[in-house]
Structure 1
Amino acid sequence: MPQVELSDKFCQSAKVNSGRKVDYFDTIVKGLVLRASAAGAKSWYVVYGPPAKRSWLKLGSYPEIPLGGEKGARQRARDTRAKVGDGGDPIADKKATAASQSVADMVDNYLKRHASTKRSGDEIARRLRKNVSGRDAGGKRIEERSAGCIGDVKLGELHRRDITKAIDAVKDRGAHTEANRLFEDVRAMVRWARARGDLDENLTEGMKKPSVVVERDRVLSANEIRTMWSALNDADMRESTRRVIRICLVTAQRVGEVAGMTLEEIDLDAGVWTIPVARSKNKREHVVPLSDMAINIVREQLAEVRVLSERKSREVPNFVFPGPGARAAVTGAAIAKAIKREEVIKRTVATIMGIAPWTAHDLRRTAATHMEELGISPFTIGHVLNHVSATKASITSRVYARYDYMREKRDALVLWADRLAGINVGAAAIVPLGSRGAA
């Protein structure tokens, strides 16, 4: 039972020299304990009561809960012992709270206090509400909720078999990628709840992803691009959805980033689109040069949005591709569903718009592959795609090299747009780099 004046430095380095765990008692705040496990986990406890009948109340995990500060472990320990001094029973209170809180409550808290700050917060909320809690933000039951929803289960009774039930229901309907993403969402939520003390253990520890998803390598050929581009005109979807799909192929950018494009991000006169840190997958601002083909598609979309706004007597939204009602941008998930709805199965053979099934992300891979086929440097393509492995792979690149490769990126995307235009009028022969200069 070592006694130590706990400090941030000590907490960071605390470890178990022998056995499964060791408890470090703070000499500053009576009853505060840092427990370190042999596996490397560290948790806060506050101990109170007579020596013969000590009570251990778990406060949460370190470093999620820091040592000091208004919400730190020391202050929480002081508050807990004050309640005990006034005749309270913190452990009984915690059990009562756990008994009253449900999984749906945990989902709401997680989305409000943590997931909402993430770039993919809307998608996380959609997955957890539809497949786990079964309730919308207002507490009403979702009509199309998953059969595996466990929202009514109390936290005090939550078991890993309940988590398995929720994930298996998604997997059983054939949505293997969705099941994997849901598992990651649930695992992150459970870790968060444990760190703040809502759960006493990490119920997902040791659980594995429900499905092994083979990495996709689908690339559309020139003939497939021509067929798809033409069939897109008659697809049963909104015109703005068609334009998102086209922009994905023309710019080689991620569907979620294209769908969420805002007016502030684009400068059509300069021919650039700047994806901010908050919306970039790798959390790095990304400037995308826009070819004339891309600019024309965006201009058509903006003109349509303005006309619709005037007809509806409402302000022009800030979104280039607004969703229904124009209160938010269309989502990447909505684009994926629109594409999937076009799937036709005839004699067990599936096609989407006349070619083998494809996704919006396949268009990004297709653009990159065709650019490389045109002789464009893979390094330049990496900058076009905003891949950290290409753009910030070394200390030199991350810290010292500040060249933005705008000229090379623009040349690459203009060359690809020219090639795409050629494909769609039937001129499918490869155009060499030649006089354009090395990209």
Structure 2
Amino acid sequence: MTTAKLTDGFVASFDSRGAEVIVWDETLKRLAVRFSPKGGKFYFVQYRPKGEGARTRSARRITIGEHDGALWNVTKARAQARKLLALVDLGEDPFATRQAETKARLAAELATKATAEAEARAAEARKSETFNALLDLYVARRLSLRKSKGEAERLLRSDPAAKWGALHISEIHKKEIRTLLEEIATRAPAVASATYGELGPFFTWCVDRDLIHESPLAGVKRPPKPTARSRFLSDDELRLIWTAADRRGFPFGHIYKLLLLTGQRRGEVAGMTWDELDLEAGIWRIPAARVKNGQAHELDLPAEAVAILKEVRGLRLNDEHVFPKRGGEGPATGFSAAKRALDAEIEVIRREEAAEAGEKAPDKPLAEWVTHDLRRTAATGMAGLGVAPHVVERVLNHITNTKAGLVGVYQRHEYRDQRKAAIHAWGDQVAAARGQVPARTNVVRLRA
């Protein structure tokens, strides 16, 4: 066994000649420096644990550090060795303690890694079970089988998706549903009731897939359906709306004028595509996928409507959508803001007309109206012109129980002449309300 009084100079200059050599310190027993074949110089202490059976226990070796003259030199190594050996003399086993600490650290690292991996898996699973992710699946696998897919999807993707889109399906409870329905009901009671009706099948589908134990809709009362509106617009109101729409311009000015002329639903007009239109023949063919009742519809267009669409076509804004969304793909959106702007424009016109007539400005705004009132006004107007109720329903593509069975097969051709005469007569009536042509008292009654 080689011994020496270890000094920094001795350790720095010692040459092991490519062999492993251990030199023990004469100043502090059980401290040594190991010179490796590759030139490394490592301080360590070696001891046998005290206590019962100490003689039979194997020697422990604890590496202190590698000699570099700064971080570890003889003085620092000797001081560290004294601390370790003092613990040994007190009956402790620093080697076992260090092993236990290392084992605990590795176990903690493994546990942290396992937790992180589990959280990553849970986060990935969570992404696939958010309201939006499940709604995509529901639309593809369940709603696609329904004739009224378009309206149901629109209801689910509007308020519910906006409110709960990123939530895990299990985080949607009765409280969240009641709050959402109350918020919708404050502005549109009918939409709140319809949304409730679509949430039921969706949550039932989630229960069937074992994603939730029970539907959070259970026990939540359906919002009451609003009393059916009877509001329809007078000729003067039609004139004001048309004039305001003219001033608002593209896209919503054109959309509101088409809503008035055709009597079709808001989403159908806003979502109109060029491939649905035959402007030379004056026909608009709406596919079943875009119709609330799931029934394809073919509509003859009044001359004024054709003129409006040709004007839009001349703008060459989009090859697909007649009224494209500003700065994005898909049809135009933003009816709420557009309606407020239109109402404000109507009030400007009313004040201007009062001033021109030397009259006092109106002290009250135009009686409240909603976009759907345009559809009701078209229906009322055609009825007033003597159009038979079932022909009006065909023009509007509105199915009643008495005729529903025939619509799917014969919709495109049923009462075609009568429908064409009715919509053109209504176009003339709108023009008359604007002072463009003489009013017609009725249409030529065609045999139904």
Distance change >3 Å, CA 196–CA 266, structure 1 → 2: same
Question: Are 1:290 and 2:301 matched, yes or no?
Answer: yes
Which of 241, 264, 277 is the aligned partner of 2:288? Answer: 277
Distance across 1 between alignment mates of 2:381 and 2:238: 11
Q: Secondary structure, in 3 states, of the residue corresponding to 2:243?
A: helix
The structure in which a higher percent of residues are helix is 2
The offset of 1:127, in angstroms, is 1.6
| 1:305-320 paired onto structure 2 within 5 Å | 306=316, 309=317, 316-320=318-322
Q: Which residue of 1 aligns with 2:330?
A: 328
| 1:124-163 paired onto structure 2 within 5 Å | 124-133=156-165, 135=166, 151=167, 155=170, 159-163=173-177
The offset of 1:281, in angstroms, is 1.5
On the 8 A contact 1:343/1:357 being kept in 2, the answer is no
> Aligned-residue CA RMSD in angstroms?
3.5
Distance change >3 Å, CA 362–CA 208, structure 1 → 2: same
Question: Are 1:190 and 2:203 matched, yes or no?
Answer: yes
The offset of 1:161, in angstroms, is 2.9
AA matched with 1:298: L
Q: Could you list the runs of 5+ residues in structure 2 that have no partner in the other structure?
A: 1-120, 352-360
Q: Could you list the runs of 5+ residues in structure 1 that have no partner in the other structure?
A: 1-96, 136-150, 310-315
On the 8 A contact 1:371/1:412 being kept in 2, the answer is yes
- Residue deviations 1:284-339, cap 9 Å, x none? 111000121110011111112x1xx4xxxxxx4311111112511124xx234411
Which 10-residue stretch deviates more, 246-255 or 226-235? 226-235
On the 8 A contact 1:170/1:179 being kept in 2, the answer is yes
Which of 212, 215, 236 is the aligned partner of 1:202? Answer: 215
Q: Which residue of 2 aligns with 1:40?
A: none
Distance across 1 between alignment mates of 2:164 and 2:156: 11
Over alpha carbons, which structure has the higher Rg?
A: 2
Which of 403, 408, 426 is the aligned partner of 2:418? Answer: 408
Distance across 1 between alignment mates of 2:446 and 2:377: 23
Distance change >3 Å, CA 158–CA 416, structure 1 → 2: closer
Which of 387, 390, 393 is the aligned partner of 2:404? Answer: 393
The offset of 1:125, in angstroms, is 1.5
AA matched with 1:383: R
Q: Secondary structure, in 3 states, of the residue corresponding to 1:389?
A: coil
Distance across 2 between alignment mates of 1:196 and 1:154: 12
Tell me the matched-pair count: 307
Q: Which residue of 2 aligns with 1:13?
A: none
Question: Are 1:219 and 2:213 matched, yes or no?
Answer: no
Q: Which residue of 2 aligns with 1:53?
A: none
Q: Secondary structure, in 3 states, of the residue corresponding to 1:274?
A: strand
Distance across 2 between alignment mates of 1:180 and 1:99: 34
Q: Which residue of 1 aligns with 2:150?
A: 119
Q: Which residue of 1 aligns with 2:339?
A: 339
Identical amino acids, percent of aligned pairs: 30
**TM norm structure 1:** 0.61
On the 8 A contact 1:301/1:320 being kept in 2, the answer is yes
Q: Secondary structure, in 3 states, of the residue corresponding to 1:273?
A: strand
AA matched with 2:162: K
AA matched with 1:189: F
Q: Secondary structure, in 3 states, of the residue corresponding to 2:379?
A: helix
Distance across 2 between alignment mates of 1:397 and 1:164: 37
On the 8 A contact 1:343/1:350 being kept in 2, the answer is no
AA matched with 2:132: D
AA matched with 2:179: K
Distance change >3 Å, CA 318–CA 189, structure 1 → 2: same
On the 8 A contact 1:271/1:295 being kept in 2, the answer is yes
AA matched with 1:378: P
**TM norm structure 2:** 0.60
Question: Are 1:420 and 2:422 matched, yes or no?
Answer: no
Distance across 2 between alignment mates of 1:98 and 1:205: 27
Distance across 1 between alignment mates of 2:301 and 2:131: 40
